[in-house]
Structure 1
Amino acid sequence: MEITVLQFIWFILLFVLLGGYAMLDGFDLGIGVWHLWARAEDRRSLLDAIRPVWDGNEVWLLTAGGAMFAAFPPVYASVFSGLYLALTLLLVGLIARASAVEFRDKEEAPSWRRFWDVCFAAGSIVPALLLGVAMGNILRGLPLDASGNFTGSFFSLLNPYALLCGLLGLAVIAAHGALYAVLRTPAPLAIRARRWARLALQAALLLFGLAAAVTILTQRHLLTNYDRLPVLWAVPLATALALSGAAAYNRRDKARPAFAASCAGVLGLLATAAVGLFPTLVPASNNAALSLTAANSSSSELTLRIMFIFALVGMPIVIGYNVWAYRLWATQQKGTSRDY
């Protein structure tokens, strides 16, 4: 297998891992977005809906980071140095969320629970927003020097396009979480979650259309593959249809198809970004020649080959375990309150 083929495979696998994280931990984060909107007596039900699976879902993010480090070391160095503060805030948010899941129900005192409720909500909203902002900056491009080092500032990352992507990501994650809550919480709360999902999906569709228009007008480098192979426009179109389908199914109170369509929409967003970027992983906004691509930033052929063998063995096991775990969890009574 030639190195160019391996580079292509690892480019795809990196986005598969990111997509798996966005789809699985996305509904965990989405539950947290709505946590403070829920009535006090319903917040336990929201936490119980994700308690058995949330920690396993985060493994996908760790695996994606590990794959980036091993397969594309210069990309890992550039992204993690350039987005250092944002990723630190992301880590703080995830730690706050994890702590809230574990500690909220240890005490009955209202002040104790309010504190952890705020931590859980903030630890879900901030990562969801920052992940979108980070992806927006990657799509837009980062200022890089000849060594691939980030030369901008933290505030340069808070540009309008990245913030728009952040709001889009937050809206999609909020809808995803609300639709999961419809599936996994008791009827009174599930009815309210349907309303949350309707609002979030309306915002997501509006922001997706706005982001598409802004991308076409201002980020022409992301359209090269679409212009070269017009059939690829089916990817963003399918994404829009998936989000629209989630909204339609939600209106008709069809929870499972709505959540499945939401999953497709989340994956579609990552696929749309991957198609726009390929073969570039980090575009250089100051000079296209300095961009980090799958070809100029990959590890050696031997490293990629060994990693691919491990992936062939490990990925089916991970996916099979996830399918088994979710099927087992799905057989349990909806809204059951338990300690795990």
Structure 2
Amino acid sequence: MQLHDVWFVLIAFLWVGYFFLEGFDFGIGVLTKLLARDRRERRVLINTIGPVWDGNEVWLLSAAGGTFAAFPDWYATLFSGFYLPVLLILVCLILRGVAFEYRVKRPEERWQRNWEHAIFWTSLLPAVLWGVIFGNIVHGVQIDAHKEYVGSLLDLFHPYALLGGLVTLTLFTFHGAVFASLKTVGDIRERARRAATVVGLTAAVLVTGFLGWTQADKGDSTSLVVLLLALIALVAALGANRLGREGWAFVFSGVTIVAAVSMLFLTLFPNVMPSTLHESWSLTVSNASSSPYTLKILTWGAGFAAPLVMLYQGWTYWVFRKRIGTQHLADAH
């Protein structure tokens, strides 16, 4: 295995970690409108991710930065060709962070309600758009001989990509509902479990269709095994949720996301962005990578920094591991 192969695996790992962690806090953001009955319950849901949401976004920065350094042609084609969807995601992430911090800065009901609307929409839109983007990466886009995307914005919204957007939305919302049931007490915990059942069954149908389509189009025996793992984990998550075993339900919902995203990268390799215009114009791990010397320096840096970041983030989750409910909230303004 050469260094560019290693870095493909590392970038895949970063995206898997990002979707596993950011997936449930996108789901919590969506559930603030679908699950919470009043402002206190919305505060409970937001507080479940309050200490960790910004740390989860470090994985996105690492994945994008790693792509820029290790595969500059992949980065350039991806972020220029998908400029508007990526820009919308970035705007949502910025507004979402502002909404978390500014929501309680003033006591007026309208002020707080508007920021809560912002949290919902800036969680829902990225959850959909990430699925659309990765659906296009796996399916392939119009890349010419100069490694440039020559399609239009509307070309990105075809049936496979749109199905991918619905998969990430429902899967993240299910993951968030399971996380909410794991982190809360009282009536909101029970409603989160019921919501997880409904959303999880919907996600199961969509995930089966999307991954089945991917397997039929680009899969092999290895990706088939990972597909089956994703589906088995999703069924196990639904079963554990039904039995009230929230910890196991969260583990299995996380395994579903890990396996599903891993399958996408398995079917993608050795390409990083296939071309639908001509197979030889596809970006691959070899023709889109940096020089071997650059990859060597990056490997030493990542080997030192990545374990420290993961240890710190793991410690953060351990410190804030307790359940919360409305009775634990301080009085509002």
TM class by smaller structure: over 0.9
3-state secondary structure, aligned to 2:272 = strand
Return the alpha-carbon distance in structure 2 between the equivalents of residues 19 and 177 of structure 1.
16
Return the alpha-carbon distance in structure 1 between the equivalents of residues 288 and 57 of structure 2.
26
Q: Which residue number in structure 1 is paired with residue 112 of structure 2?
A: 113
Return the alpha-carbon distance in structure 2 between the equivalents of residues 9 and 242 of structure 1.
27
The farther-off stretch of 108-117 and 43-52 is 108-117
Return the alpha-carbon distance in structure 2 between the equivalents of residues 10 and 338 of structure 1.
46
Q: Which residue number in structure 2 is paired with residue 159 of structure 1?
A: 158
Q: Which residue number in structure 2 is paired with residue 265 of structure 1?
A: 256
Q: Which residue number in structure 2 is paired with residue 334 of structure 1?
A: 324
Using the TM superposition, give the Cα deviation of residue 333 of structure 1 relative to its aligned residue in structure 2, in angstroms: 4.8
1:291 to 271, 282, 301: 282
Q: Is the 8 A contact 2:215 2:224 kept in 1?
A: no
3-state secondary structure, aligned to 2:244 = coil
Using the TM superposition, give the Cα deviation of residue 302 of structure 1 relative to its aligned residue in structure 2, in angstroms: 0.5
3-state secondary structure, aligned to 2:320 = helix
Q: State TM-score, norm by structure 2.
A: 0.95
Return the alpha-carbon distance in structure 2 between the equivalents of residues 54 and 338 of structure 1.
21
Return the alpha-carbon distance in structure 2 between the equivalents of residues 100 and 212 of structure 1.
34
Q: Is the 8 A contact 2:184 2:323 kept in 1?
A: no
Q: Which residue number in structure 2 is paired with residue 235 of structure 1?
A: 226
Q: Which residue number in structure 2 is paired with residue 39 of structure 1?
A: 37
Q: Is the 8 A contact 2:236 2:252 kept in 1?
A: yes
Q: Report the CA distance shift for 1:150/1:258 in structure 2 as closer, same or farther (over 3 A).
A: same
Q: Report the CA distance shift for 1:148/1:322 in structure 2 as closer, same or farther (over 3 A).
A: same
Return the alpha-carbon distance in structure 2 between the equivalents of residues 290 and 19 of structure 1.
27
Q: Which residue number in structure 2 is paired with residue 300 of structure 1?
A: 291
Return the alpha-carbon distance in structure 2 between the equivalents of residues 205 and 162 of structure 1.
17
Aligned 1:92-103 pairs, distance under 5 A: 92-103=91-102
How big is the alpha-carbon RMSD for the aligned residues of Structure 1 and Structure 2?
Answer: 1.4
Using the TM superposition, give the Cα deviation of residue 214 of structure 1 relative to its aligned residue in structure 2, in angstroms: 2.9
3-state secondary structure, aligned to 2:14 = helix
Return the alpha-carbon distance in structure 1 between the equivalents of residues 90 and 284 of structure 2.
26
The farther-off stretch of 315-324 and 5-14 is 315-324
Matched residue count = 327
Structure 1 residues without counterparts, runs of 5 or longer: none
Using the TM superposition, give the Cα deviation of residue 45 of structure 1 relative to its aligned residue in structure 2, in angstroms: 0.2
The farther-off stretch of 180-189 and 252-261 is 180-189
Return the alpha-carbon distance in structure 2 between the equivalents of residues 104 and 210 of structure 1.
39
Using the TM superposition, give the Cα deviation of residue 106 of structure 1 relative to its aligned residue in structure 2, in angstroms: 1.8
Q: Which residue number in structure 1 is paired with residue 21 of structure 2?
A: 24
3-state secondary structure, aligned to 1:34 = helix
Return the alpha-carbon distance in structure 1 between the equivalents of residues 223 and 153 of structure 2.
34
2:11 to 9, 14, 17: 14
Aligned AA (2:267): G
Aligned AA (1:251): R
After the TM superposition, list the runs of 4 or more consecutive aligned residues in structure 1 that deviate by more than 6 angstroms: none
The farther-off stretch of 122-131 and 312-321 is 312-321
